[in-house]
Amino acid sequence: MPKVIKTKTEFEGRVLEEYVVVEGEGLSAWDAHVPLQFVGKKTTRVDGPERVTGKALYTFDVQLPGMLYGKILRSPHPHARIKSINTQRAEQLPGVRAVLSHQNTPKISFRRQTFLFDEVVRYVGDEVACVIADDEEIAQDALELIEVEYEILPFVLDPEEALQPWAPRLYPDGNLLGGQPELYQRGDIERGFAQADVIVERTFRTQCALHNCMEPHGSVALWEGDSLTVWDSTQHIFGVREGLARLLGLPLHRVRVIKKYMGGGFGSKNNLGKYTVIAALGAKMTGRPVKIVLDRHEENLATGNRPASVQHVKIGARRDGTLTALELKAIVTAGAYCLWPPSLGGPARELYACSNVKTEQYTVFTNTGPLSAFRAPGYVEGTFAVESLMDELAQELQMDPIELRLKNYTEIDQTTGRPYSTKGLREAYERGAKLFGWHEARTPPAALLSRRHAPKLRGVGMASQIWSGNGMPPAYALVKLNPDGTATVITGTQDIGTGTKTVLAQIAAEELGFPIEKIAIEIGDTQLGLYAPLSAGSMTVASVGPAVRVAAHEARQQLLDVAAQVLEVPRDSLTIADGLFRSPALQKPVAVHEVLKNLENFMIIGRGAREPNPEDVAVNTFGAQFAEVTVDVETGEVKVERIVAVHDSGRVINPLTLSSQIEGGIIQGLGYALYEQRVVDRNTGIVLNDNLENYKLPTALDIPEIVFEMIDRPDFRANNLGAKGVGEPPIIPTAAAIANAVANALGVRIYELPITREKILKALGKV
Amino acid sequence: MPKVIKTKTEFEGRVLEEYVVVEGEGLSAWDAHVPLQFVGKKTTRVDGPERVTGKALYTFDVQLPGMLYGKILRSPHPHARIKSINTQRAEQLPGVRAVLSHQNTPKISFRRQTFLFDEVVRYVGDEVACVIADDEEIAQDALELIEVEYEILPFVLDPEEALQPWAPRLYPDGNLLGGQPELYQRGDIERGFAQADVIVERTFRTQCALHNCMEPHGSVALWEGDSLTVWDSTQHIFGVREGLARLLGLPLHRVRVIKKYMGGGFGSKNNLGKYTVIAALGAKMTGRPVKIVLDRHEENLATGNRPASVQHVKIGARRDGTLTALELKAIVTAGAYCLWPPSLGGPARELYACSNVKTEQYTVFTNTGPLSAFRAPGYVEGTFAVESLMDELAQELQMDPIELRLKNYTEIDQTTGRPYSTKGLREAYERGAKLFGWHEARTPPAALLSRRHAPKLRGVGMASQIWSGNGMPPAYALVKLNPDGTATVITGTQDIGTGTKTVLAQIAAEELGFPIEKIAIEIGDTQLGLYAPLSAGSMTVASVGPAVRVAAHEARQQLLDVAAQVLEVPRDSLTIADGLFRSPALQKPVAVHEVLKNLENFMIIGRGAREPNPEDVAVNTFGAQFAEVTVDVETGEVKVERIVAVHDSGRVINPLTLSSQIEGGIIQGLGYALYEQRVVDRNTGIVLNDNLENYKLPTALDIPEIVFEMIDRPDFRANNLGAKGVGEPPIIPTAAAIANAVANALGVRIYELPITREKILKALGKV
C-alpha cells in the first residue's frame, strides 16, 4: 500500500506543504562479497549493432503517411517588436500548407512572461513564424517570402551591463531573474574573513558553451482524433507529455511521447521545445503529421547553452590552511530565456568544511540565446573558480594543493549537517596522486621562472568534484516473463545515448538469474511505459535501476512459486542462475522455459517502484582529477598530455559504458577549458560560430592519455543497487585541473576560460 | 501467488498432463440491481473519429525509411512440382532488391508437411516466390520476369472425389486430415434409431465462402539488430509473435508485433500468414524494411475460406417429438492447407437433449485455397443442416417447430453433463416468437400448395443457436493513473473492428468511477502490452474485459488508500464516481486530480489477470432467429423481408457495438444463405470470382428489417462481468432460419446453400 507522508519545508520564508508517497520494496543492495554475474561486468551495448549499422530509428527517421515538414523563421534582430507579419506570399508558394505565427495561433504562455509566438523577439534566432510544407526545401524557400516588419528595440548582450539601471530591459520587471540575487549564507562571513590569516580573492570568467549533441532537436507530431502522438528527441518524455498537455489543454492520457533512440543530450533536451509545440499545432491545423527537425545553426542558436559567468571568489584561511570563510558572487547570463537556472555556488557551499560561507548569484537576462542545463550545470563553472582559487591559496600558503584540500576535508554535508552515506574523495585524492605520480610531477613553483624561456613549459594541476547523483523516486518498472524464458523490462525512461538499456538489462539479468541476452529493454514511450524521471542530473541509473531490480525481484518470486509447484520441489531449495533452476531435489538443472512452456501463455509480471531516499544521510558522488599540460611558449598552444581521474559513484554497474561517460566527460571538460566558446558579434547580436566549423570542439588529435579508476564501493544507503550516477561527475573538475596545470606551467594564472593561445601569450607577456 | 494445477485429460486414448495456472482476483460480477454508469449504456466508439476521418493508421499506412515492397508470385496451376525457378531477369530489373524462393531461403516448415516456399504447389494461388522492390509496381512487373518450370501434377477439387483411393494425393499420407475421421459418440446410436417412431434423413451441402474483410492481410517487417518488429493486420498479435519466433528461430523478446487499427477479421487473420514470414525474410535479406499487403485477388485466393461441406444428417424421434438419436456425417473441404479445422458436429451434439448422438467428420485436402476459421466455424454449416432437418421433422410430426425444440430442451450440457451456468434459449424462443408474431405468421404447410402459382410466395422459419463465448484465461491488463485523474489501460489484445477499445473503456470507467473520456485504451503491441488471447471465438470481451476490471479494481484500491491519507478521512467512507471522491467526512466532493496532482508523478499501477473459468458448469451463449421471406415464383428471387433475433450472451456491455455485431452477423448469414459462393473452374482449378465484382455480397438493398433483443441477464458464473461474447452467435442460425422460411414458402426444401434463383426455379419445377 502506498503511504503518503506530508512534510513541511520552508522556502523563501514561506512554509510549503509537500506530500511524498513512499512505496517500493526494501531490497538491500547486493553485498560486496556476493559474486555477481552481470552487474559490475564490462557489457557491450545491447543496442550497439542497430546503432552502428544505421538501423536504429531516431526521431529524424520517423515517416508517416502525408507527413509535412516545418521550418522556423527566426529573428534577425537581437531585440525587436513585431509590427506585422505578412505571410500571404509564403502561403501562395505551391507546396506550402500553413504558415503559423502569433497572428493565427492561440496565445500560449511559454517560459517566463512570454508566449510560443511572442510579439517581441529577444535574441537573434528567436522564433517568429513557422512554415509547414510538403518538403523541407519548400518550407525553407517560403521562409524568405514572409514579410516581417520589426520595430527595432535597444538590446544588451553583456550581463554586467544588463544589470545597470539604464540597460535596455527584456522584461517589464527588469533583467534580473526573480528580481533579486539567489542568496545562501551560513555562519558569519565577515567574522570568517576576520579570522583569516590569508585571504585570496579573484574574479573568474567562463564562456558560453554550446551543446552540439550529435542528433539535433526535433519532433514529429501526429493527431489521431483528439489524441496527440509526438516523437521527440528529448531527455524527458514524461516532461514533454506534461508540457504539451498543459500548453495545448489536453488530458495526459491523450498525449503520447515516444523516443526510441537518441543521439545525445547534455541538458538542452531536458525541456519541452517550441518546435515541438509548433509541430503539434501545425499538425492540427493541416490535418496531417508534421516533422520539425532543427538544423545545426538553429540547434546552436535556440536550444540553450551553458551560460557565461563572472564569478568573484574570496577565500580566507588560517596559516595552517584551515578555511575560515568562503564567498562567491556570480553573475550568470540567462540569455533571453532561462530554461534551467544553474547554481554556481554549489561547489563553494559543499566542497570543504567551512563554517562561514556566502554565495550570491545574479542570473541576468540578455539579448542572447537562452540558458539551459548543460552537463553538471553550475558545478563546472563553480568548480573552475573555487578550485582555481584553492590552488592559488595553496601556493600562497606554500602547501601542496592536496594537503590543503585534505586539511578541509569533511564527512558531513555542509549544507544540511547530515553525514555522507559514503565519501571516497580522500581515497580519490590518494589513489589519483599515486596513479598520476603527483608528488614527483609537481614542480615547485619557484622552479617555474627559470623555465619561462623554454620552448615548452610543463605543468600539473588537480581539482576536486562533488555532485549529487543518487536519483530519486518516483520511477517504476515492469518485468514480463515470456514462455521461452526470455524477459521484457518496461519502463518510461529514455536512453539518451549513455547505455541505459544495457545497464538496466544487466540489473534485470542479475536479479532474475537469466542470461543477459534473454532480456529486452523497452523504454521511451509514455503511453505504454511507466513513469520515470528525466535523464539528467546523473540520476537515470540510480532512479530507474532500483525500480527495475524490484520488478525483476517480484517476477523472480512468482517464478519460484510456480516452479516449485511444477517441479514439485521445496521452494526454498530452488535457485535460478543462467536461466536454470537448480535444487538438491532435482536430478539436473531445469531450464526456465521448460517450466513456463507448459503453462500456456501464463505471464509473470513483476512491478517495481524506486524506494524512497534516506533522510538521515546525504548521498553524493565525489572525485578528483589530475592534469599534465605542456605549453608551447612560442604559439601559446596548450597540450593536455594526460588526465588521471579517480571517481566515487558507488558501485559500478558497467565498466564499459562508465568508461565512455568518464572519457566523454573529460573530453568535454577539456574542450570547455581550452577551445569551446560561442562568439557573439557585439554590434549585431549575431552568433558568429553557430556551426561545427567555427565552434571549436576537441578532435581526436586533442585527446590526451586518460587514465581513470573508480572507487567502486557500493553505497548501501543510496538505493538497492548501491550505485550512483556517473554522467556529470567527470566533466566537473577537468577545466579546473587543466587551468591549475597551466598556472603551474606558466607561473601565472589565467582567470578566464577558454584558455586560448591568445590568453597564454598575453600571460607570457608576448602580445 | 499464482497457483499451478496439474490436470490429466484423455485425448485419443492418450492421457495428457496439462498444467493450468490459476490466478486473478475473485471479483464477482456487478449485481443486476446495482445501477451502472457506463456498462450497459450505448457508448459510441472511443476511436470513432480517427477511424472515420482517415487519421487512423492501419498496417497499410506504415511507412519506414528505405522501405521496400514485396509482391508474391502465385501458382497458376492447382497442383504442380516446381522443377526450376529462374529469377535472373527479375533480379536485373532496376529497382528490384531481392527475389525470394525456395532456392535462396531457409527451408522453413509451414503448416502440415509443407514449407514456407514449397517445391510443390497445391492450389492456384499458392506461394512460389516473392519480389522485393523499391515500389509495388516494379515488384509486380518483376513477377512476370520470373521463369518457373512446373511439372504438372494431377489434381482433385472435390472432397468426396478426393477421398477415393484413386484420387491424386496432396500429401504422402493421403488426403484425409489426421488419417481418420473425427468421431464423437454418446449412447448407442443404433438403439436410438430403433426406438424412433419417425426418422428423417437428408444430405445437406454448403458452399465455400470468402471472408472479404475490408482491410486485406498485410505486414511490414523491420529489423533493428537482431530484433524484429512486424506491423500486421492480425487477430492475434501474440500468436504471430510466437509463430515468427518459432519459424525464424528467434527468442520471443526479440519479436515485436504491432497492430493498432484493423479493418475487420472473421477468422482468416487468426493465423500467421506466409506473407508475414516472407516480409521478415526479405527485410533481413535486403537490410531494409519490407511491406507486403495482399490485393483483393490474393486475399480471396490465399488467406483461407469457410469450407464447403457435405453433411448427411439423420434424426430419430418418438411420435411426441422426443429425440432418440441424432447422427451427422460431414465431409469438409480443407483445401490445400487446413489452417483451422472446424467442427461441424457441434450443433448436433449440443443443441438438444438426446442420449444417442454420433458425429463423424472427414476433413479432406483438395487442390483449392486453404480452409481457415470463419465466424463461428463449423457451427454455421452444422446449424444449417441440423436446424433444417429439425424443421422437416416438425413438419413430419405435424408439430410447431418451436414446440419440437422445447420438447427437447435441456439445461444440461449434453457433452459434459454439466449444467449450464445460465441458458436463456427458452426465453429467446418465446420472446422471439412474440416479437415476430410467429404463431400468426406461420402458414400451415397444407395451405402452401394452393399458393404455388401466386406471383410471390411468403414463408417464415426459425432456427436456434448455441456457441461457446465465455473466453478464458490467460489474459492480463494494467491500469495506470495519471496525475490529472486520467487513466491508461494497457493490454495485449487487438480491436479487430468490433469496438473492443470502447468496451474496455466502459469497464475501466465503471470500475474506477472515472468519466469514460478520461480513459485511454492501449492495445495491439506484444512488446509493451500484456498477454491476451486471439480476438476470435467471441471471446475478447469475456477474456480481456475481466482482466481490465481487476486491474482497474486494484488501481482503485490504491487510489482510495492514498486519498484517505491525503484527504485525512476514513478510507471506508470514501467513494469514487464521476472522477470525484465523496465522503460524509468531506465538505464537498474532491476531484481525483486534486489528490494526485500534489503527489508529483507518483503513479498508481493496477494489474489484473483473467480469473479461471468454473469447472462445475458449462458456460455458453444461446439465441433464436426468425425469418420471413418472399419468393418471386417467376424469377426465383428470394427476398428476406425481416429477421427477428433474440440472443442470450449474458450481460450486455455496450448495446451500440453489440447492435453492429448482431446486425453484421445476420447480414453475413444472409449473404451465406442466398448469394455468397466461391466458384472454381472444374477444369483448371482457377477461382473465377476472386473479386468483389463477381463474388456476390449482400448490398444495402438486400438488407431486411432486423429486429433484435437481448436477454441481457448477467451470467455470474461466467466471469466478473457476467458478459459473454456476441461476435459469432448472430451469424449461426441465420441461414437455417432463412432456409426454413424458404421451405415454408415453397413447400419443398432446398438442401444446398446458397439458395440461388436457379435452385428455387428448379425446386418449383420451372427449369
Judged by a CB distance cut-off of 8 A, whether residue B478 touches chain A is yes
Q: pLDDT-derived band of residue A451, with 50, 70 and 90 as boundaries?
A: low
Quick one: average pLDDT of A209-213? 97
Rounded to a whole number of angstroms, the distance from the CA of A254 to the nearest CA of chain B is: 7
Roughly what angle, to the nearest 10 degrees, separates helices A379-397 and A734-746?
30
Structural contact between residues B605 and A10, judged by C-beta atoms closer than 8 angstroms: no
- C-alpha cell, B265: 477479421
Instruction: With CB atoms and an 8 Å threshold, state whether B251 touches A484.
Output: yes
Chain A residues within an 8 Å CB radius of B518: 251, 253
DSSP three-state, residue A311: strand
Structural contact between residues B128 and B148, judged by C-beta atoms closer than 8 angstroms: yes
Judged by a CB distance cut-off of 8 A, whether residue B172 touches chain A is no
pLDDT digits (tens, 9 = 90+) for B281-305: 999 999 999 999 999 999 999 999 9
Note whether residue B395 is domain-resident: no
Percent of chain A with pLDDT over 90: 91
Chain B residues within an 8 Å CB radius of A600: 20-21, 474
Chain A residues within an 8 Å CB radius of B562: 2, 4, 21
Instruction: Report whether pLDDT(A5) > 90.
Output: no
Structural contact between residues A246 and A226, judged by C-beta atoms closer than 8 angstroms: no
Across the beta sheet with A127-133, the strand order is A96-101, A127-133, A68-74, A290-293, A218-224, A227-232, A255-258
Same domain, residue pair B479 and B593? yes
Instruction: With CB atoms and an 8 Å threshold, state whether B224 touches A607.
Output: no
Pairing of strands A590-591, A80-86: unpaired
Residues of chain B below pLDDT 50: 446-447, 449-450
Rounded to a whole number of angstroms, the distance from the CA of A370 to the nearest CA of chain B is: 27
Judged by a CB distance cut-off of 8 A, whether residue B527 touches chain A is yes
- C-alpha cell, A705: 592519455
Instruction: With CB atoms and an 8 Å threshold, state whether A528 touches B522.
Output: yes
Judged by a CB distance cut-off of 8 A, whether residue A355 touches chain B is no
pLDDT digits (tens, 9 = 90+) for B347-370: 999 999 999 999 999 999 999 999
- Those residues whose C-beta lies under 8 Å from the C-beta of residue B223, and which sit 6 or more positions away, are A55, B229, B280, B283, B284, B287, B289
Instruction: Report whether pLDDT(A722) > 90.
Output: yes
Instruction: Report whether pLDDT(A598) > 90.
Output: no
Instruction: Report whether pLDDT(A448) > 80.
Output: no
> Using CA atoms, how far apart are residues A249 and A220, in angstroms rounded to an integer?
19
Instruction: With CB atoms and an 8 Å threshold, state whether A605 touches B558.
Output: no
Q: What is the CATH number of the domain that holds A293?
A: 3.90.1170.50
DSSP letter string, B380-427: HHHHHHHHHHHHHHHHHHT--HHHHHHHT--SB-TTT-PBBS---HHH
Structural contact between residues A254 and A93, judged by C-beta atoms closer than 8 angstroms: no
Nearest-CA neighbor of A576 among A599, A552, A542?
A552
Same domain, residue pair A512 and A620? no
> Using CA atoms, how far apart are residues B763 and B749, in angstroms rounded to an integer?
8
Pick from A302, A325, A353: which residue ends a domain? A302
SS (H, E, C) A615-673: CCCECCEEEEEEEEEEEECCCCCEEEEEEEEEEECECCCCHHHHHHHHHHHHHHHHHHH
Structural contact between residues B104 and B284, judged by C-beta atoms closer than 8 angstroms: no
Given CA atoms A459, A464, A470, A471 in this order, what sign does their dihedral have? negative
What is the structure's pLDDT at B743?
Answer: 97
Please give the C-alpha separations between residue B578 and each of A123, A567, B56, B505, B592, in angstroms, as whole numbers: 47, 48, 29, 14, 9
Same domain, residue pair B591 and B719? no
- Domain containing residue A623: 424-467+615-767
How far from each other are the two terminal CA atoms of chain A, in whole angstroms?
71
Question: B 621-660 residues with CB below 8 A of A?
Answer: none
Note whether residue A202 is domain-resident: no
Best mutation target among A47, A51, A55 (most B Cβ atoms within 10 Å) is A55
Same domain, residue pair A597 and A622? no
> Using CA atoms, how far apart are residues B118 and B101, in angstroms rounded to an integer?
9
Note whether residue B8 is domain-resident: yes
Mean residue pLDDT across chain A: 95
Structural contact between residues B739 and B673, judged by C-beta atoms closer than 8 angstroms: yes
Chain A residues within an 8 Å CB radius of B574: none
Same domain, residue pair A588 and A718? no
Specify the number of domains making up chain B.
Answer: 3
Chain B residues within an 8 Å CB radius of A67: 63
Count of beta carbons in the 10 Å neighbourhood of residue A761: 17
Structural contact between residues B637 and B757, judged by C-beta atoms closer than 8 angstroms: yes
- Those residues whose C-beta lies under 8 Å from the C-beta of residue B34, and which sit 6 or more positions away, are none
Note whether residue B527 is domain-resident: yes
pLDDT digits (tens, 9 = 90+) for A389-447: 999 999 999 999 999 999 999 999 999 999 999 999 999 999 999 999 999 988 665 44
Pairing of strands A227-232, B80-86: unpaired
- C-alpha cell, A500: 541505459
Judged by a CB distance cut-off of 8 A, whether residue B604 touches chain A is yes
Q: Which of A2, A527, A598 sits opposite B558 (nearest CB)?
A: A2
> Using CA atoms, how far apart are residues B272 and B247, in angstroms rounded to an integer?
10
Pick from B579, B609, B639: which residue ends a domain? B609
- C-alpha cell, B644: 427477428
Instruction: With CB atoms and an 8 Å threshold, state whether B47 touches A225.
Output: yes
What b/e string do you get for B290-306 counting C-beta neighbours within 10 Å, with b at 16 or more?
bbbbbbeebbbbbbbbb
Bridge partner list, A489:
A479, A521
Rounded to a whole number of angstroms, the distance from the CA of A158 to the nearest CA of chain B is: 38
The answer to whether ipTM exceeds 0.85 is: yes
Judged by a CB distance cut-off of 8 A, whether residue A476 touches chain B is yes
Roughly what angle, to the nearest 10 degrees, separates helices B274-286 and B237-248?
50
Note whether residue B380 is domain-resident: no
Note whether residue B503 is domain-resident: yes
Instruction: With CB atoms and an 8 Å threshold, state whether A599 touches B21.
Output: yes
Across the beta sheet with B80-86, the strand order is B120-121, B80-86, B147-152
Rounded to a whole number of angstroms, the distance from the CA of B553 to the nearest CA of chain A is: 14
Structural contact between residues A217 and A86, judged by C-beta atoms closer than 8 angstroms: no
Quick one: average pLDDT of A627-635? 95
Range name among A7-11, A64-68, A220-224, A640-644 with the lowest pLDDT average: A7-11
Percent of chain A with pLDDT over 70: 97
Question: B 551-580 residues with CB below 8 A of A?
Answer: 558, 561-562, 565-566
Structural contact between residues A228 and A272, judged by C-beta atoms closer than 8 angstroms: no
Same domain, residue pair A258 and A238? yes
Bridge partner list, B203:
B312
Pick from B252, B287, B302: which residue ends a domain? B302
Same domain, residue pair A442 and A487? no
What is the structure's pLDDT at B446?
Answer: 41
Rounded to a whole number of angstroms, the distance from the CA of B614 to the nearest CA of chain A is: 18
E strand spans, A147-267: 147-152, 182-186, 198-206, 209-210, 218-224, 227-232, 255-258
Cell numbers 490529472 label which residue?
A: B484
Same domain, residue pair B744 and B767? yes
Structural contact between residues A533 and A523, judged by C-beta atoms closer than 8 angstroms: no
Same domain, residue pair B758 and B699? yes
Instruction: With CB atoms and an 8 Å threshold, state whether B529 touches A528.
Output: yes
Rounded to a whole number of angstroms, the distance from the CA of B398 to the nearest CA of chain A is: 51
Note whether residue B114 is domain-resident: yes
Q: What torsion, rounded to 10 degrees, do the Cα atoms A506, A511, A515, A520 define? A: -60
> Using CA atoms, how far apart are residues B497 and B261, in angstroms rounded to an integer?
8
Question: B 272-311 residues with CB below 8 A of A?
Answer: 287
Judged by a CB distance cut-off of 8 A, whether residue A248 touches chain B is no
Chain A residues within an 8 Å CB radius of B227: 50, 520
Structural contact between residues B335 and B303, judged by C-beta atoms closer than 8 angstroms: no
Same domain, residue pair B565 and B655? no
Q: Which of A57, A251, A561 sits opposite B484 (nearest CB)?
A: A251
Instruction: With CB atoms and an 8 Å threshold, state whether B478 touches A482.
Output: no
Note whether residue B120 is domain-resident: yes
Q: What torsion, rounded to 10 degrees, do the Cα atoms A30, A35, A36, A40 define? A: 90
Judged by a CB distance cut-off of 8 A, whether residue A61 touches chain B is yes
Same domain, residue pair B533 and B586? yes
E strand spans, B604-760: 604-609, 621-632, 638-648, 705-710
Pairing of strands A487-491, A519-522: parallel
Rounded to a whole number of angstroms, the distance from the CA of A226 to the nearest CA of chain B is: 8
What is the structure's pLDDT at B4?
Answer: 82
Instruction: With CB atoms and an 8 Å threshold, state whether B602 touches A525.
Output: no
What is the structure's pLDDT at A447?
Answer: 47
- Those residues whose C-beta lies under 8 Å from the C-beta of residue B469, and which sit 6 or more positions away, are B537, B538, B539, B542, B619, B620, B621, B649, B724, B725, B726, B727, B728, B729
Nearest-CA neighbor of B465 among B138, B730, B742, B744?
B730
Chain B residues within an 8 Å CB radius of A64: 57, 61, 63
Same domain, residue pair B7 and B134? no
Question: A 249-268 residues with CB below 8 A of B?
Answer: 251-254
Best mutation target among A3, A260, A480, A559 (most B Cβ atoms within 10 Å) is A480
What is the structure's pLDDT at A449?
Answer: 46
> Using CA atoms, how far apart are residues A275 and A281, in angstroms rounded to an integer?
10
How far from each other are the two terminal CA atoms of chain B, in whole angstroms?
71
> Using CA atoms, how far apart are residues A520 and B227, in angstroms rounded to an integer?
9
Range name among A29-33, A394-398, A535-539, B193-197 with the lowest pLDDT average: A29-33
What is the structure's pLDDT at B146?
Answer: 98
DSSP three-state, residue B744: helix
What is the structure's pLDDT at B402?
Answer: 98
Judged by a CB distance cut-off of 8 A, whether residue A56 touches chain B is yes
Q: What is the CATH number of the domain that holds A573?
A: 3.30.365.10
Which residue type occupies B164?
A: Q
